[in-house]
Structure 1
Amino acid sequence: MKALLRYVKLGVIVAISGIYATPAFADTQFPQELSKMVAPSDDGSLPQDIIFVDENDQQVPLNSLKGQVILVNLWATWCVPCVKEMPELDQLAAEMEGKPFKVLALSQDRGGAAAVTEFFEKNGIGNLDVALDPRGAIARKMGARGLPTSFVIDGNGFVQGKLEGIAKWDAPAVIDYFDALIAQTS
């Protein structure tokens, strides 16, 4: 009898899990292509002292991009999944050109701008700027546990979501999502 009760309990747990795993119960805040993205548990405020380095070795405060929706992508040339999604990030940047939107691909490479420039040229990446976080300070401040990790920041400077791993960044639903975020800021 105890064994039968265990199987009944297990069946109920599996049934309930199946119900909550259906699309009707999915978080509709993000498109399906970004289903691994999680919303921040706090108010989503961006740390104020985040500074990245541009291709000219100039320090640029992230909050200088306020007013734009920003996709911050932490990546490295030696990271296989990062390399895999880089053409889609490049295409997203091309699709969103002329809009208050920025793909900020922050390289974690220690080789500096030359290494990233060489990678971009070799792989036909022409719509992304060279941006660096060579000591991983931004990655630490933003709580990245690995690469690639991406953050969506709205035009008011609030983190809307964090995604660990790759995504289909140039999918139409993702572009629609970013257009909706832009509209909320305007």
Structure 2
Amino acid sequence: MATLAIAVGYVVVADRSSRSPIADALVFQRLDGSSTGLAGFRGQAVLLTVWATWCWSCRQELPALARLHRGLGGRTPAVIALSVDRDGADVVEPLLEQLNVKDLPVFLDPTGASVGRLAISGLPTTILLGSDGVEKGRWHGVKAWDEKPMMDEIAALIADSPGKQVR
């Protein structure tokens, strides 16, 4: 099986076809406190950003993610932001208001269980899951999600077979 390797400016997509999809196990909360999970997005590609309110880089990229979400207008991939703040909605909602981020789907993981499950090593981390729930790409740090080169890269990763290197 191929492995996932990340070098500066490049994402190498791994062949994870023998692994179970991440979507099978990841559960989190909506801002209203009800439970949901990635299994609810089954059959749809998902761009999942793991972030926290105390992370300045995360604060920088949330507006771009919201613009990407608006720009896609319901097309693939679904764009979601998963906060790992322990205080949940109490700290997340005021920040979203401060940043004027109103229409980005934001979810909560106050236990931080997703950090281990997704092997997150720093914030923000964004993972592209294919419609099968298998990881297609992973990025660390702030990205210009709503700009054409990034949107093209995402589209290529969704369309390409595993193992292809994309800039």
- Name the TM-score class by shorter chain: 0.7 to 0.9
Change (3 A) 1:36 1:133: farther
**Long gaps (5+) in structure 1:** 1-33
Counterpart CA distance in 2 for 1:142 and 1:87 is 23
Change (3 A) 1:52 1:40: farther
Q: Out of 39, 58, 61, which is 2:13 matched to?
A: 39
The answer as to whether partners of 1:37 and 1:164 remain within 8 angstroms in 2 is no
Give the AA of the match of 2:65: L
1:82 paired residue number: 58
1:139 paired residue number: 115
For these two proteins, the number of residue pairs brought into alignment is 151
Instruction: Looking at secondary structure, tell me which structure has more strand per residue.
Output: 2
If you compute each CA radius of gyration, which structure gives the higher value, 1 or 2? 1
Counterpart CA distance in 1 for 2:101 and 2:87 is 18
Q: Out of 33, 51, 60, which is 1:57 matched to?
A: 33
Q: Out of 54, 68, 71, which is 2:44 matched to?
A: 68
Q: TM-score, normalised by structure 1?
A: 0.73
Counterpart CA distance in 2 for 1:135 and 1:36 is 31
Q: TM-score, normalised by structure 2?
A: 0.80
Is 1:122 the counterpart of 2:72? The answer is no
Alignment partner of 2:50: what SS? strand
Instruction: Looking at secondary structure, tell me which structure has more helix per residue.
Output: 1
Alignment partner of 1:119: what SS? helix
Deviations 1:101-156 (A, max 9, x none): 31110001112113211111111112212301111111111100111111001112
The answer as to whether partners of 1:67 and 1:156 remain within 8 angstroms in 2 is yes
Change (3 A) 1:181 1:99: farther
2:127 paired residue number: 151
Counterpart CA distance in 2 for 1:100 and 1:53 is 22
Percent identity (aligned): 32
Give the AA of the match of 1:131: F
2:78 paired residue number: 102
The answer as to whether partners of 1:105 and 1:130 remain within 8 angstroms in 2 is yes
2:5 paired residue number: none
**Long gaps (5+) in structure 2:** 1-7, 161-167
Give the AA of the match of 2:31: E
